[in-house]
Amino acid sequence: MRKNYPQKSFETYGKILLVSCAILVVAAAVQAESYQTLYPCLIDLSGWTGGEPTGMNMNMSGMVMINSTRTYSKGNKELTAVIMKGNQAFGMGGMQGSGMQGSGMQGSGMHMETPEVNMNVKTINGFQVQTVYDKKENSGSVTVFLTHEQTGGAFFNLLYAGISEKEAVGLAKKFDWKKIKSKIQSLR
């Protein structure tokens, strides 16, 4: 009977080890999948050449971030589409109620213009959107705030160069913001 005892222990510990490894592999696969889940939201744009999407997941000392990025070009025009969720997204301009957290801007309908820059905050298709346009560089960004959770916000950002603010907003609208928000909310 003693001969079977070590074998039974090995079988039990072997099964526990196998199950533990399987759980770790599944957890790693889920973690690796997060940013890739957002890739379908980074659509092809007619007339533009899109690069391969890239992304990352980061979890460090309670700071969590998921982001997916894709670049586009058309002659000397450039776009970079970014989807970001996490603590950093909230701190980088996440929304709080009707105002913009940390920016001093309140709600929709804000417009600021200087000789160098135009900046607007408005509601487009039910989303709070901030546009910034550098007149001299003919570049800027369109930021669509998707969520404003206390644990981390989320936004879609279209950085652009070589096109007008109006064209950039039109291109940003081609991305399905509701779909992006839904995908973001499904990520943990």
85 is a domain residue: yes
- Number of domains making up the chain: 1
For residue 27, give the 3-state DSSP assignment: helix
Backbone φ/ψ region at 17: left (φ over 0), alpha (ψ -120 to 50), beta: alpha
pLDDT of 92 above 80: no
29 is a domain residue: no
pLDDT of residue 102: 36
What are the structure tokens assigned to 60, written together? 């460090």
Chain mean pLDDT for the chain: 78
Handedness of CA 68, 66, 150, 91 (dihedral sign): negative
Q: How confident is the model at residue 184 (pLDDT cuts 50, 70, 90)?
A: confident
The alpha carbon of residue 93 and the mean position of all alpha carbons in its chain are separated, in whole angstroms, by: 13
> pTM for the complete prediction?
0.74
Handedness of CA 30, 43, 64, 56 (dihedral sign): positive
pLDDT of residue 88: 55
- Supply the range of the domain harboring residue 116: 38-186
**Mean per-residue pLDDT for 87-103?**
43
5 is a domain residue: no
22 is a domain residue: no
Per-residue pLDDT reduced to its tens digit, 41-66 = 999 999 999 999 999 988 877 777 88
12 is a domain residue: no
As beta bridge partners, residue 110 has 121
What are the structure tokens assigned to 134, written together? 């550098």
47 is a domain residue: yes
84 is a domain residue: yes
90 is a domain residue: yes
